[in-house]
Structure 1
Amino acid sequence: AAMRALGVTLIEHGADFQEAREFAIQLAAERGAHMVPSFHPDLLRGVSTYWWEFLRAVPQMDVAYVPIGQGSGACSAIAAKLALGHGVRVVGVVSSHATTYADSLAAGRVVEAPVTTHLADGMACRVADAEALSIIAPHIDHIVQVSDAEVAAAMRAIFTDTHNVAEGAGAAALAAALQERGRLKGQIVGLALTGGNVDAPMFSGVLAG
């Protein structure tokens, strides 16, 4: 509704992000439209600014959890870390129902994986981006896989404790930190709430538990 209110022609297509992306590429070619990709070097320059600010504000941060969809967030966190010479460990977070980045990093090449997440659609990527993978692989500390149930619990916690509305991918970093909380005692942990794009019926269902 918010997008349509801004005059956007919204086309809903496909069962997951990858199908929608492939259709958008096809549509752009047919119509001579400009495709704005989910991963691009120019996008990284913008996204990395908030990580630059975050890491400069918290120079003592030990670990940062970053959700991975197409990889722009993780690559930007890595870029800011390297530019600042910051010692933070960057941990990638993927849905356990969309594991292409976890599988690809383990294999050392792009590995397609099925997508079955119904909640973390911002991480519902079926095929990892090869360029993003090449940036992430040498610098990521490790990958955490979070289930839809863990993501839902994190969404509820964020709303209850901070009154912020987080979409599934937006709450994934907290879900991962909660999963690993036993190893984080005494450490300064950074989390990015990366989006609030969740519709009312889904969010009310999450809050209802």
Structure 2
Amino acid sequence: MTRSANEYLKRILLSPVYDVAVNSDLQKLDKLSASLGNDIWLKREDQQPVKSFKLRGAYNKICQLSDAQLAKGLVASSAGNHAQGVAYSAKKKGVKATIVMPATAPDIKVEAVRNFGGEFVDVVLHGTSFEQAKEEALRLSKEFGYTMVAPFDDEDVIVGQGTIARELLEQNPDLDTLFIAVGGGGLISGISVFLKQLKPDLKIIAVESDESACLQAAMLAGKPVPLEHVGIFADGVAVKIIGEEPFRLCQQYVDEVITVNTDEICAAIKDIFDDTRVIAEPAGALSIAGIRKYLRTNPMQGKKFGGILCGANINFHTLRYVSERCELGEQKEAVIAVKIPERKGAFRAFCELLGGRAITEFNYRYSTDREAHIFVGIKLREGRQELAQLTESLGSNGYNSFDLSENEMAKLHVRYMVGGRPPSLLNEKLFSFEFPEYPGALMKFLDTLGERWNITLFHYRNHGAAEGLVLAGFDIQDTERGEFDQHLAKLGYIYQEQTDNPAYKFFLSDVNGVFEK
């Protein structure tokens, strides 16, 4: 039976979540507001005991269970925040719970689940993906009669998340637009079904990572559809398919869906830190990333925008990656490739053309007796318009350049590899790979790859994420290409050919001098 909007409203008002949850602050971000010319308000769900809104839905769900269900125990699958919410709630209610987490889950989140649950929670590490952990949780549920506490596609969970809306309306009833992160849809559906009944003119915008835009895909298809692949950076929203009930509510109450990229998320993490000194996890910063992007495409002044910091359980080692990428997301930095003459004083002459702009990174590589190739990061004061002016200035002074600021392979791998072409021509083909990250995973990846083809280039860097990222080149004769493609298909790794990527051709390929706009 489909629950009506009015029923959701009543149940949200009567939810017992405040047994464990706090009425989190709605804080004005003064620096960001001044920068964007609009009032920006942030709902601080990082203030919850588990540093995430997930506690609300998990606790409300458990409170609706019968004594018989509670006596048999609970089971949940999660890579992080939902697991912590269930563990905390189980301990509060004195109920046994089994939490299944993938072996790739960050140690900080695994230990947090154990600490929150104490003697009431057993943590089971199973598989290398959320889907494998979910399958194991379902198996345990069937075998032992445990009640599954779903992370988002559950009416009681949606009700619990919807209690945020009640607080928002009390704290600032004058918001014009509210931006909400979307993973499986439990948060946005609970908030929107409540607010749209009481303030229908409030605009609600869903914000997704462009690497896991399952709501956008469902909106286009008219029904939930699985994504072929989800990205690894914003792991808190890395969901392949939107929940059925969240999607039904989103269709009715969400006004717009926008997506943001990794650099924009990193910039939003910095925005939140600058105003609050809190470090949001990538998924937790989605709403601020969405506000920034929305105002770039829809310039306006004097409006009141709200966002939700929905989680702050970030893996510490991810911070180095965030720091590297945030200024690209703010459009305060650009990375470009440039050809300069191979002669004395050429670098100094190039720097003079930059007009006093700060250089954030410089990689130089001798190419021929006539020219050198450089990979350079440049501070920008006026964003992309300034970069266009700089490119024109370089071109008019004889410097051929192209922008790598949106080239993911260049930012992930090439910037750390500038410095070598093979001494002789190779039949080199380049591929990027993703594989589950856990102790020994890199060796397993190499073992699985095998020794049939000679590896000519290799770069791996641990980003503190659940997936390892590798760039690898292979010496493949044209007559062997079909066999090689069959080999890759059997490996089971996500991969993409990068042989035609201009960053590769410019800095690393044996095709000397290739330069593409």
State the TM-score, normalizing by the size of structure 2.
0.38
- Corresponding residue for residue 75 of structure 1: 189
Q: Deviations over 1:124-148 (max 9, x none)?
A: 1111211111110122111011112
Task: Considering Cα pairs closer than 8 Å and 6+ residues apart, tell me whether 1 or 2 has the greater RCO.
Answer: 1
- Alpha-carbon distance in structure 1 between the residues aligned to 2:247 and 2:273: 32
Query: Which of 33, 36, 53 is equivalent to 2:149?
Result: 36
Equivalent of 2:140 in 27, 45, 60: 27
Higher percent of residues as strand = 2
Note the C-alpha offset of 1:204.
4.1
Which is helix-richer, 1 or 2?
Answer: 1
How much has 1:111 moved relative to structure 2?
1.2
Retained in 2: the 8 A contact 1:16–1:125? no
Greater Cα offset, 42-51 or 77-86? 77-86
Match of 1:190 in 2: 306
Matched residue pairs, number? 209
Q: Which residue of 2 aligns with 1:202?
A: 318
Inter-CA distance 43–154: structure 2 relative to 1 (3 Å threshold): same
| Equivalent residue number for residue 286 of structure 2 | 172
Give the Cα separation in 2 of the matches to 1:189 and 1:115. 31
Question: Paired residue for 2:215, among 92, 96, 101?
Answer: 101
SS for the counterpart of 2:241 is coil
Change (3 A) 1:42 1:137: same
Helix, strand or coil: the match of 2:148?
coil
Tell me the amino acid that sits aligned with residue 2 of structure 1: A
State the 1:199 CA deviation. Answer: 1.5
Structure 2 equivalent of residue 11 of structure 1 = 124
Mean alpha-carbon deviation: is it higher for 11-20 or for 148-157? 11-20
Structure 1 consecutive aligned stretches of length 4 or more whose deviation exceeds 6 Å: none
- Residue 105 to residue 17, structure 1, CA distance change in 2 (3 Å): farther
Deviates more, 1:163-172 or 1:11-20: 11-20
Counterpart Cα distance in 2 of 1:60 and 1:188? 7
Identical aligned residues as a percent: 27
Counterparts of 1:97-136 in structure 2, within 5 Å, are 97-136=211-250
Stretches of structure 1 that go unaligned for 5 or more consecutive residues are: none
**CA positional deviation for 1:13:** 4.0
Pairs within 5 Å for 1:48-67: 48-67=162-181
Could you tell me which runs of 5 or more consecutive residues in structure 2 were left unpaired when the two chains were aligned.
1-110, 326-517
Output the CA distance in 2 between the equivalents of 1:99 and 1:27.
30
Any idea what the Cα deviations from partners look like across 1:24-71, whole Å, max 9, x if unmatched?
Answer: 223322333221101221122221111111123212111000011111
CA contact (8 A) 2:196 2:253 kept: no
Is the aligned partner of 1:145 residue 2:255? no
